Structure 1
Amino acid sequence: MKILVTGATGFLGSQLVKALRLDGHTIIILKRSTSDCSRIKEILPDLITYDTDHGQWEAPLLEQGKIDAIIHTATCYGRNNESHTTMVDANVTFPLKLLDMAMRFGTPFFLNTDTFSSAPIRLSKHLQPYNLTKRQFREWGKCLADTSSLQFINVRLEHVYGPYDNTNKFVTSVIKSCLENQPELRLTEGKQARDFIYVEDVVSAFRVLLAHAARLPAGFTEYQVGTGTATSIREFVERVHQMTQSSTVLKFGSIAYTDREIMHSQADTRSLQGLGWNHRVKLEDGLRKVMATFK
């Protein structure tokens, strides 16, 4: 297949394009000219690249012929104090342009990377603008898939973790604090439950969806990607603490819950399992892999 991927220089996108390249697909990526390509430097010569900040929006479809699928993994969390306008541009306007291009040039499949945190009816105030933009684009996908021949496949991810993720993410920050034996780690009470899914299992879910894309229902479909098991934040942190034999003092309850905190999130993976997918990496094994990269 000829596949256009956004976010290929990021944590998930980089591992996805590496796997798709090994599967023999032709990979086209959209990035910025200033993007840090260190995660994909070894395969960059094998990729067809276009820079969006040079106005190369339609060039991939005009120059590369028909594209079989678009996988959208690029996102802006707002963690670096980006403006709301910047977040809307990145999370709504940018992928909406891709949707328009897909419909104009006959690309049949659009796989959108979504998040569990945008699903609740009342969004939590934590990362609220981010979750709102993710929801808005999902609604655009539903609308356009209902009025065209485009198949919009919404891939709703649970709490993804893995090696070389950004250190401001929860999993990596906890591991880093414990490995460095920082004096203390301030936390909520930790009663929230999350479905922690290793990044390799997420990549395998995308591969399965691509392999079955032509047989998936028309219009909008959603697939939840997780292990199907929820682990409390307290249990997770204590496990990391024990595995690292850390002297860091865990100060549970020193941070208040945010308003509208999501207290339980767990994937329903039956639809994916029906396509032959199952997660393979157990939580403790995944954590060991992450810890090895820090050491």
Structure 2
Amino acid sequence: MQILVTGGAGFIGGHLAESFVADGHDVVVFDSFDAYYHRGIKDHTVERCRAVAAESEGSYTLRRGDIREREDVRAAFDAAAPDVVYHQAAQAGVRISVEQPTHPNAVNVGGTLTVLDAARETGVDRVVIASSSSVYGKTHYLPYDEDHPQEPVSPYGVTKLAGDHYARVYDDLYDLSTVCLRYFTVYGPRMRPNMAISNFTSRCLNDEPPVIYGNGAQTRDFTYVDDVVAANRTLLTSDAADGMVLNVGSGDTIDITELAETVRDLVNPDLGIEHRERIAGDAEHTQADVSRARDVIGYEPTTPIREGVERFVEWYRANREWYEPLVVASREGGS
């Protein structure tokens, strides 16, 4: 199949591209290489995908461009002639959305519209959109099912909810098949370095205590990237979820204090825990009800959080030489 992955040099998009190429598909990756975190991590992802392509019957093509620019997007669509589009490109991060709310709006809302319009005009079979658990925001009950009230507590969450609504409208109004997958805090190899698990691991390996923002009682549903890839892969050929939103999470939870202690105990049990002021816009709790995804696409998460954290720490150790400098540079604002 012909597949276009926006944001395909990033964390989740890179894992999708690698998986599709390994299966022999022709993949075009479209990415802006934004300096939100160190671009060297994306370079490693591209190198990995090219290496996989060289050993498979698939092909891998990288195109640089901005999803906000119509000409860039159309050029990517023309190059890919895609059957299916995986729209993973976004300005991620609650913190940056609180500090600069107009920027993620331009990328996540305006960019998604640009992608949907190009898909409508070129007649692709399906657009799969990366949504987020941040659309739920205020907790009325747990776990979140897809009908839970959607009251985002950050501008980032608002932008992802807007994308969900635009996808629904394009599916209804223009007969463009769309599916929105609401990811719950995805982690794993080559993950964004400004997230809790990578930060905790980096600090502990350097004999620094993990830093918790707030009291640590916040709970999260963390999803291992392999489970996210598995959910997306089913949508290459299945139309069962067209027009729907589906939660993609582990269904499990861990509080941030236990998460920090788990990483610390794996790396350096002698360290303490450091607390700093809570970040505005952070959700208090998340937990996914994945029963709809299970029923519709056969989704079944396979990696419990504590097992996944151990696997990530092992991967980090094995890749520390190249990954850690980029984590530290990203933490300190370098690119």
TM-score, with normalisation over the residues of structure 1?
0.86
Alignment of 1:1-150 (within 5 A): 1-32=1-32, 36-44=42-50, 46-52=59-65, 55-65=71-81, 67-77=82-92, 83-120=100-137, 121-124=150-153, 128-150=154-176
Q: Is the 8 Å Cα contact of residues 185 and 248 (structure 1) preserved in structure 2? A: no
Output the CA distance in 2 between the equivalents of 1:157 and 1:294.
22
The secondary structure found in structure 1 opposite 2:236 is: helix
The secondary structure found in structure 2 opposite 1:8 is: coil
Per-residue deviation at 1:64?
A: 4.6
Output the CA distance in 1 between the equivalents of 2:79 and 2:88.
22
Q: What amino acid is aligned across from residue 23 of structure 1 in structure 2? A: D
Per-residue deviation at 1:83?
A: 4.5
CA distance 1:32–1:262, change in 2 (3 Å): closer
Partner of residue 273, structure 1 = 294
Per-residue deviation at 1:130?
A: 1.9
Per-residue deviation at 1:183?
A: 4.8
Output the CA distance in 2 between the equivalents of 1:163 and 1:63.
29
The secondary structure found in structure 2 opposite 1:290 is: helix
TM-score, with normalisation over the residues of structure 2?
0.77
Per-residue deviation at 1:240?
A: 1.7
Q: Pick which of 150-159 and 268-277 moved more.
A: 268-277
Per-residue deviation at 1:259?
A: 5.7
Output the CA distance in 1 between the equivalents of 2:77 and 2:223.
33
Per-residue deviation at 1:198?
A: 0.7
Partner of residue 270, structure 2 = 247
Partner of residue 246, structure 2 = 223
Q: Pick which of 46-55 and 10-19 moved more.
A: 46-55
Output the CA distance in 2 between the equivalents of 1:184 and 1:239.
11
Among the aligned pairs, what percent are the same residue? 25
Q: Structure 2 regions of 5+ residues with no counterpart?
A: 54-58, 138-149, 318-335
CA distance 1:287–1:52, change in 2 (3 Å): same
Q: Pick which of 233-242 and 52-61 moved more.
A: 52-61
CA distance 1:286–1:184, change in 2 (3 Å): closer
Q: Is the 8 Å Cα contact of residues 178 and 247 (structure 1) preserved in structure 2? A: no
Per-residue deviation at 1:178?
A: 2.1
Q: Pick which of 86-95 and 195-204 moved more.
A: 86-95
Q: Pick which of 152-161 and 89-98 moved more.
A: 89-98
Output the CA distance in 1 between the equivalents of 2:43 and 2:28.
14
Alignment of 1:124-273 (within 5 A): 124=153, 128-183=154-209, 185-212=211-238, 214-217=239-242, 220-251=243-274, 254-257=275-278, 261-273=282-294
Q: Is the 8 Å Cα contact of residues 187 and 250 (structure 1) preserved in structure 2? A: no
Q: What amino acid is aligned across from residue 85 of structure 2 in structure 1? A: I
Deviations 1:43-81 (A, max 9, x none): 33731333325943323444554x211111111136669
Deviations 1:14-62 (A, max 9, x none): 1110001122221112123787432121433731333325943323444
Q: Is the 8 Å Cα contact of residues 138 and 154 (structure 1) preserved in structure 2? A: yes
The secondary structure found in structure 2 opposite 1:13 is: helix
Deviations 1:240-280 (A, max 9, x none): 222223322114xx445456652221111112222322122
The secondary structure found in structure 2 opposite 1:56 is: helix
Q: What amino acid is aligned across from residue 175 of structure 2 in structure 1? A: S
Q: Structure 1 regions of 5+ residues with no counterpart?
A: none
The secondary structure found in structure 1 opposite 2:164 is: helix
Per-residue deviation at 1:201?
A: 1.1
Output the CA distance in 2 between the equivalents of 1:71 and 1:5.
5
Partner of residue 308, structure 2 = 286
